[in-house]
A and B are shown apart, each in its own frame.
Chain A
Amino acid sequence: MSKVRVLVGTRKGAFILTSDGKREKWDVTGPHFAGWEMYHLKGSPADPNRIYASQTSGWFGQVIQRSNDGGKTWESPGGGMPDPAAGGWPPKPSNKFVYDTSAETGKPLTTHQWYDGTQHPWEFKRVWHLEPSLTDPDTVYAGVEDAAIFRSTDGGSSWHELPGLRGHGTGPKWQPGAGGMCLHTIILDPSNPKRMFIAISAAGAFRTDDGGKTWKPINQGLHSQYIPDPKAEIGHCVHHMAMNGKRPNVLFMQKHWDIMRSDDAGDSWKEVSGNVPTDFGFVIDVHAHEPDTIYVVPIKSDSEHFVPEGKLRVYRSRTGGNEWEPLTNGLPQKDCYVNVLRDAMAVDSLDKCGIYFGTTGGQVYASADAGDSWAPIVRDLPAVYSVEVQTIS
């Protein structure tokens, strides 16, 4: 029988929630890495026992963790016993993220736009998102703050920037959002191994069609009234993007304002916000089997950043956008003031698609019937940063 494993990153550690295919009874393990900020955990589609985790701290910096047994045990790859042949140093510094400025492969570091409009140097802060390869358990991409994309081909033991993105030439116009200048979304195209999509707050979305050597901004159709040119090529605060792998040319986006859809792999976008009750949110995801069924959680902004009217509502569109229905069965409908952050929603791939999301109030909710009804798996975790799901047969 199939099993579901939910990987939860929180402000104070990671938790792993497991259930059988019924998704009624759950086992909870954790906290793993107690006390550390766990921005993201994600399993390899090629080997479900291989899980990568981003462990970070304002005091101690960035640590990459890896599990080879489904999250029971963890190691910092490349950080094993010292190698005498290397003078006592580990051969591969697994936690080292250094922007590539080499003459051979890199790009100059340049500067980006700071909050006050001045230019500011690029500074590595943390890994926001880890995206394992669809085919190779040892290959994984990392989206980092300040925005750049790195790749490891040795299981996280060493990391190398794909500098074509940061060196695209528009970098001086990129600017941090309220959460920092983060590359938070990485989507791999299952039909084209050379194609990837990424998104940066606040620069916008980019696509590569050559495996990460060169990148193209894909922001035509986005409208952001808070930047001098609302239709600029660069500067949009994209919060998250999602794709159903069965239809890889169709992308959905939750922007700082507006829900957007592209039917041409990001070359152009149109707004599909329709009747959602606010124009702001972070998460967006797509049903595993119905490519036109999408989910968002509207949030009140600009300053509140919690759900409107004290009601936690997931909105579902079965028409690829524009027409939305609130899903409330099992969710609190009064006195609720939580947020749902950008990487904190995921779907499983069981026949009856399961939807999962975590809140800043520490609840992780699950629906085993595509959103018709919900129940909390856990209620009292630290603030949830990220939720990912593995469907294990």
Chain B
Amino acid sequence: MTVRVELPQHLRTLAQVGREVQLDIPAPVTLRSVLDALEAAYPVLRGTIRDHVTQQRRAFLRFFACQEDLSHESPETPLPDAVVSGKEPLLIIGAIAGG
């Protein structure tokens, strides 16, 4: 499956990629398998989205897809079909306060 992942600006610069990257990921497609594939393709992103040791999501980053907040889902939860099919991207977003 080709999964689309949209990165926040600073991580695009760091990985030297555009707004969106595409990753080939075998089923089942989960948050963990997408992030594993992302970090394998762009090693400089290791530690920037998940903690190096605990693999916990960094506190100021959130995961969204299909208008749903997936930030607090288990890493093993299958992603929505629209993400798996490449119709919708998985969004990795830096939390930003308004004002």
Contacts and interface: CB of A to CB of B under 8 A. Distances in A.
Contact of A63 (B9, B44, B61): B44
Contacts of B82: none
B48 A98 contact: no
B1 interface: no
A113 interface: no
A61 B40 contact: no
Contacts of A78: 43
A62 B47 contact: yes
8 contacts: A33-B13, A34-B13, A35-B9, A59-B8, A59-B10, A59-B95, A60-B61, A90-B46
B38 to A, nearest CB: 11
Interface stretch (B25-33, B52-60, B72-80): B52-60
Contacts of A36: 10
Interface in A53-86: 57-63, 76, 78-80, 82
B14 interface: yes
B10 A79 contact: no
The 7 closest A-B pairs by CB, nearest first: A90-B43, A79-B44, A88-B40, A60-B48, A59-B60, A76-B44, A79-B43
B41 interface: yes
A209 B61 CA distance: 43
Contacts of A95: 44, 46-48, 52
A98 to B, nearest CB: 6
Interface of A: 33-36, 57-63, 76, 78-80, 82, 88-90, 93, 95-98
Q: Max chain A CB contacts within 10 Å: which of B9, B11, B43, B52?
A: B43
A90 B47 CA distance: 13
B94 A59 contact: yes
Most chain B CB within 10 A, of A33, A76, A97, A98, is at A76
Contacts of A62: 47
Contact of B11 (A60, A82, A93): A60
A63 B10 CA distance: 12
Interface string B1-36: 000000011110110000000000000000000000
A154 to B, nearest CB: 15
A76 B14 CA distance: 9
Given A60-B49, A79-B44, 4 more contacts: A60-B48, A61-B48, A82-B41, A96-B52
B52 to A, nearest CB: 5
A96 B95 CA distance: 23
B88 to A, nearest CB: 24
Contacts of B48: 60-61, 63, 95
Contacts of B13: 33-34
A79 B58 CA distance: 20
B52 A93 contact: yes
Contacts of B61: 59-60
Nearest to A82: B40
B24 to A, nearest CB: 12
A62 B53 CA distance: 13
Contacts of A82: 40-41, 43
Nearest to A79: B44
A221 B44 CA distance: 45
B63 to A, nearest CB: 14
B47 A58 contact: no
Nearest to A98: B53
Contact of A61 (B8, B9, B39, B58): B58
Nearest to B37: A88
A98 B43 contact: no
Nearest to A36: B10
B52 A63 contact: no
Nearest to B42: A79
B12 to A, nearest CB: 11
A61 B47 contact: yes
A91 to B, nearest CB: 9
A339 to B, nearest CB: 25
Contacts of B11: 60
